[in-house]
C-alpha cells in the first residue's frame, strides 16, 4: 500500500473563459521570456498591487502565480504553480528533486506549516562521509550521487494542495509543463550560473543532457526540456504517484545505481511530507509566524528578535555601529545554540520551548557589552530547559482574500549534487551535506553541528530556511523569506527590523545592503557599501573582525500597506520579480 494516492475528491471547475485565458499563457510566457533577455530583468517601478501579489526568483514563475490568482485560485494554488514553474526556469534552486518548508496563514488567522524537507536514505549511516582515519572526505556529501537525500517537493506541494487548494491540480502544473516543452530564453544570470557548473555536470553525470551540450551559454539562448515536460506530465496526471512510483521513480533509482548512490525505491515510497505546528512569537507590536524544526530558522529568528527587543534599535539608526554591534552579538549567541540543540524533532528532543523562554534568552545576553565584541571562543551553547544554501529560493504570495503563503525550497548547492536524472530531466539535491558529517566539522556553509544533527536513516537534515509571516494587531503585515544558506536567518531578521524599527518600505528593505554573523567563523560578513567607513572603524575598535563579501540572500517579500494594498519587494540581487493585480 502506498502513501501517495491521487485525490478522488471533487475539485473546482474552471469556467470556459478562465480555461481560455490559461491556454493563452504559454504564448505570453515565451514573449515575456524573450523580452527579459533582450531588455534585462529590471522591473518597472510598480510598487503596489490592489488585490493579490506574488514575488519569486524568476519573472516567468511570478507570472504563472499571478495568472493562477487572476483565474480565481487561492494563495496555495499559486504556490503550487510557482513551485513547479521554478523547477523549470530556475533549476539551480527551483526543484522537484529537493525539498523545503511552507508556512501559510488564512484570512481568519489560522496558520499551518508543512515540512517537505528531504530525508536520509535507509542505507545512510553516521560515518558515511569519513575516511579510515575518521576524517571528513572533501566533497563526498556535496557532489555526486552519494550526496542525495530523498526528495520531498512533490509530496509537499501535493499535501498543501490536497488540504488547502481550490483549483484542479492538473491546471496548476500545466504552465510549468508548457514552459518545459515549448521552451524559454535564459537570462544573463542563468547563463552565468550554468557556465559555472558545466564541468561539474560533465564529471558527475552518467547520461548526456542538454544542460552541458554547450561549452558556453549566453543570455537569450533558448532552452527546451522535453524530458522534464514528460516527468511533470506524470506528476500532473498521477499526483505524487507519478513521481515516487512508476517511470520517474525507475529513472531516479537507475541514476542512483549508475552513480553508486544509495537511494532506493523503498526510500521513495516511504517518503511523506509532515504537517507541523508553526512557531509563533512576538516582536514589539507584531506576531511572527515561522517554521519549526527540522528548520532552525523559526527558532533562531524568534530568539534573535527576543534578544534585541529590549534595545532602542530605531533610535540607534539603520546600520549604525550600535545597531550592528547589538545584532551581531545576538547572532553569535543564537548560532551557538543552533549548532548544539537543533535537529529533526522526530529523532532528537529539540528543546524549542526552552530555547524561546524569555528568562533563558535574558541569561544569554548577560555577557553582552555595549562597548566591546564578545569573542566567539568565549560563547558556548546555553542549557535550555527541555520543555518541548547559497542556492535556495523563496517565494511569497498573498491572494485577494488575504491568505498568505511563504515557501522556501532548495536543492542546497547550486543545481544540488550536480546530478541530473537521466531521461527524467531534473536535478537532485545535495542535502546530505546539511547533516553533521562529523560533530565540530563545518559544512559547506561553515555551519557547525553536533549529535542533534548527526546522520541517521530516515532523518531530516537541519535547515536554515525561514519562511515567515508577520501580523500586526491580528492583521496581515508581511510575508518574507530568502535563500542564502546560513545567511537566511539573519537576512529575514534584518528585513523584519527594517520594516518594524526603521520604517522602510518593502522595496527599500529588500534592496538594502546586508551583513551576517554566525558565531564561527568569528567575523562579520558584509556586502559592499553596507557600512559607512566610520562605522567600520568603530566596530573594529570594539574588537569585531569584518570581511567584505558578495551578495547576501535574495529576499522576496510582500508588505500590506495601510488601506490593504500590497507592496512587493523583489530582490535586485537576482532576476527576482513581482507580479499581481
Pick one of 3.40.50.1970, 3.10.129.10, 1.10.246.130, 3.40.50.620 as the CATH number of 276-390+464-566: 1.10.246.130
CA atoms of 157 and 101, how far apart (whole Å): 10
User: Quick check: 439 pLDDT over 60?
Assistant: yes
Query: What pLDDT sits at residue 322?
Result: 97
Q: What angle do CA 456, 458, 459 make, to 5 degrees?
A: 60
User: Which of 480, 113, 110 minimizes the C-alpha distance to 283?
Assistant: 480
Residues in contact with 518: Cβ distance below 8 Å, sequence separation at least 6, in sequence order: 331, 332, 335, 446, 447, 486, 487, 490
Cell of 29: 510566457
Query: What pLDDT sits at residue 306?
Result: 96
> Would you please indicate which residues are annotated as catalytic (active-site) residues?
392
CA atoms of 184 and 32, how far apart (whole Å): 9
Query: What pLDDT sits at residue 340?
Result: 83
CA atoms of 231 and 20, how far apart (whole Å): 25
Environment class of 2 (CB within 10 Å of its CB; exposed 0-12, middle 13-18, buried 19+): exposed
User: Quick check: 21 pLDDT over 80?
Assistant: no
**What is the bridge-based pairing of β-strands 111-116 and 184-185?**
unpaired
Query: What pLDDT sits at residue 4?
Result: 35
Q: State CA 529 to chain mean position distance.
A: 26
Place 31 in a pLDDT band, splitting at 50, 70 and 90.
Answer: low
CA atoms of 178 and 236, how far apart (whole Å): 12
pLDDT in tens, 87-143: 999 999 999 999 999 999 999 999 999 999 999 999 999 999 999 999 989 999 999
Environment class of 170 (CB within 10 Å of its CB; exposed 0-12, middle 13-18, buried 19+): middle
Q: What is the DSSP letter of 427?
A: B
Are 506 and 558 in contact by the 8 Å Cβ rule? The answer is yes
What number is the average pLDDT over the span 325-349?
A: 90
CA atoms of 417 and 91, how far apart (whole Å): 12
Are 485 and 392 in contact by the 8 Å Cβ rule? The answer is yes
Supply the mean pLDDT for the chain.
Answer: 89
The larger pLDDT score, comparing residue 102 to residue 33, is at: 102
Overall residue count recorded for the chain in this entry: 581
Q: What is the DSSP letter of 401?
A: T
pLDDT in tens, 469-493: 999 999 999 999 999 888 999 999 9
Radius of gyration for the chain, computed over Cα atoms and rounded to the nearest angstrom: 22
User: Which of 414, 410, 412, 392 minimizes the C-alpha distance to 196?
Assistant: 414
What number is the average pLDDT over the span 252-259?
A: 97
Place 460 in a pLDDT band, splitting at 50, 70 and 90.
Answer: very high
User: Quick check: 444 pLDDT over 50?
Assistant: yes
The larger pLDDT score, comparing residue 24 to residue 5, is at: 24
Cell of 483: 535563500
Mean pLDDT check: name the lowest of 55-64, 282-291, 378-387: 378-387
User: Quick check: 27 pLDDT over 90?
Assistant: no
Residues in contact with 394: Cβ distance below 8 Å, sequence separation at least 6, in sequence order: 56, 57, 406, 407, 408, 409, 467, 481, 482, 483, 554, 555, 556
User: Quick check: 18 pLDDT over 50?
Assistant: no
pLDDT in tens, 175-195: 999 999 999 999 999 999 999
CA atoms of 211 and 149, how far apart (whole Å): 22
Place 46 in a pLDDT band, splitting at 50, 70 and 90.
Answer: low
Place 208 in a pLDDT band, splitting at 50, 70 and 90.
Answer: confident
Mean pLDDT check: name the lowest of 335-339, 430-434, 440-444: 440-444
pTM of the predicted model over 0.85: yes
pLDDT in tens, 258-294: 999 999 999 999 999 999 999 999 999 999 999 999 9
Query: What pLDDT sits at residue 382?
Result: 62
CA atoms of 134 and 129, how far apart (whole Å): 9
Cell of 419: 546530478
CA atoms of 452 and 382, how far apart (whole Å): 15
Are 204 and 212 in contact by the 8 Å Cβ rule? The answer is no
The larger pLDDT score, comparing residue 357 to residue 380, is at: 357
Q: CATH 1.10.246.130 in the chain, residues?
A: 276-390+464-566
Which residues is 570 bridged to in the sheet? Answer: 556
CA atoms of 319 and 322, how far apart (whole Å): 8
Are 464 and 482 in contact by the 8 Å Cβ rule? The answer is no
Which residues is 153 bridged to in the sheet? Answer: none
Are 56 and 483 in contact by the 8 Å Cβ rule? The answer is no
Query: What pLDDT sits at residue 133?
Result: 92
Residues in contact with 168: Cβ distance below 8 Å, sequence separation at least 6, in sequence order: 11, 12, 13, 14
Are 470 and 455 in contact by the 8 Å Cβ rule? The answer is no
Query: What pLDDT sits at residue 453?
Result: 84
Are 232 and 176 in contact by the 8 Å Cβ rule? The answer is yes
Amino acid at each position: 500500500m502506498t502513501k501517495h494516492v491521487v485525490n478522488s475528491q471533487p475539485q473546482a471547475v474552471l469556467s470556459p473563459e478562465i480555461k481560455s485565458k490559461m491556454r493563452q499563457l504559454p504564448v505570453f510566457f515565451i514573449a515575456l521570456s524573450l523580452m527579459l533577455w533582450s531588455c534585462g530583468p529590471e522591473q518597472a517601478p510598480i510598487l503596489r498591487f490592489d488585490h493579490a501579489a506574488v514575488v519569486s526568483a524568476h519573472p516567468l514563475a511570478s507570472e504563472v502565480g499571478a495568472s493562477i490568482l487572476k483565474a480565481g485560485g487561492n494563495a496555495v494554488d499559486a504556490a503550487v504553480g510557482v513551485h513547479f514553474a521554478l523547477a523549470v526556469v530556475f533549476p539551480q534552486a527551483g526543484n522537484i528533486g529537493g525539498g523545503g518548508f511552507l508556512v501559510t496563514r488564512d484570512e481568519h488567522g489560522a496558520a499551518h506549516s508543512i515540512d517537505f524537507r528531504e530525508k536520509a536514505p535507509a542505507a545512510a549511516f553516521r560515518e558515511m562521509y569519513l575516511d579510515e582515519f575518521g576524517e571528513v572526505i572533501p566533497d563526498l556529501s556535496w557532489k555526486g550521487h552519494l550526496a542525495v537525500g530523498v526528495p520531498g517537493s512533490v509530496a509537499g506541494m501535493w499535501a498543501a494542495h490536497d488540504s488547502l487548494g481550490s483549483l484542479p491540480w492538473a491546471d496548476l502544473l500545466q504552465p510549468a509543463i508548457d514552459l518545459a516543452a515549448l521552451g524559454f530564453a535564459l537570462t544573463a544570470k542563468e547563463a552565468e550560473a550554468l557556465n559555472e557548473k558545466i564541468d561539474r555536470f560533465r564529471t558527475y553525470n552518467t547520461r548526456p543532457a542538454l544542460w552541458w551540450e554547450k561549452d558556453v551559454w549566453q543570455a537569450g539562448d533558448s532552452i527546451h526540456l522535453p524530458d522534464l515536460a514528460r516527468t511533470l506530465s506524470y506528476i500532473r496526471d498521477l499526483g505524487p504517484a507519478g513521481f515516487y512510483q512508476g517511470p520517474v521513480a525507475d529513472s531516479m533509482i537507475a541514476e542512483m545505481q549508475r552513480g553508486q548512490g544509495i537511494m532506493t525505491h523503498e526510500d521513495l515510497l516511504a517518503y511523506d511530507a509532515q504537517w507541523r505546528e508553526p512557531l509563533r512569537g512576538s516582536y514589539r507590536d507584531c506576531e511572527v509566524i515561522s517554521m519549526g524544526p527540522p528548520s532552525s530558522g523559526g527558532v533562531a529568528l524568534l530568539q534573535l528578535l527576543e534578544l534585541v527587543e529590549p534595545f532602542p534599535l530605531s533610535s540607534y539608526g539603520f546600520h549604525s555601529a550600535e545597531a550592528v554591534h547589538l545584532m551581531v552579538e545576538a547572532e553569535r549567541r543564537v548560532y551557538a545554540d543552533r549548532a548544539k540543540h537543533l535537529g529533526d524533532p522526530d529523532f532528537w528532543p529539540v528543546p524549542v520551548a526552552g530555547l524561546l523562554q524569555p528568562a533563558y534568552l535574558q541569561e544569554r545576553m548577560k555577557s553582552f557589552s555595549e562597548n566591546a565584541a564578545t569573542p566567539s571562543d568565549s560563547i558556548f551553547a546555553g542549557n535550555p530547559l527541555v520543555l518541548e544554501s547559497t542556492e535556495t529560493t523563496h517565494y511569497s504570495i498573498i491572494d485577494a482574500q488575504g491568505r498568505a503563503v511563504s515557501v522556501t525550497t532548495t536543492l542546497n548547492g547550486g543545481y544540488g549534487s550536480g546530478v541530473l536524472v537521466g531521461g527524467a530531466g531534473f536535478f537532485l539535491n545535495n542535502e546530505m551535506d546539511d547533516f553533521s558529517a562529523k560533530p565540530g566539522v563545518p559544512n559547506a556553509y561553515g555551519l557547525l553541528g553536533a549529535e542533534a544533527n548527526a546522520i541517521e536513516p530516515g532523518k531530516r537534515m537541519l535547515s536554515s530556511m525561514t519562511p515567515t509571516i508577520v501580523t500586526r494587531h491580528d492583521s496581515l503585515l508581511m510575508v518574507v523569506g530568502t535563500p542564502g544558506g546560513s545567511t537566511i536567518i539573519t537576512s529575514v531578521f534584518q528585513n523584519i527590523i527594517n520594516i518594524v524599527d526603521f520604517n522602510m518600505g518593502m522595496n527599500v528593505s529588500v534592496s538594502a545592503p546586508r551583513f551576517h554573523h554566525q558565531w564561527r567563523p568569528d567575523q562579520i560578513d558584509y556586502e559592499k557599501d553596507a557600512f559607512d567607513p566610520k562605522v567600520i572603524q568603530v566596530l573594529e575598535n570594539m574588537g569585531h573582525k569584518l570581511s567584505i563579501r558578495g551578495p547576501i540572500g535574495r529576499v522576496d517579500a510582500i508588505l500590506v500597506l495601510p488601506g490593504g494594498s500590497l507592496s512587493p519587494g523583489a530582490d535586485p540581487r537576482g532576476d527576482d520579480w513581482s507580479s499581481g493585480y
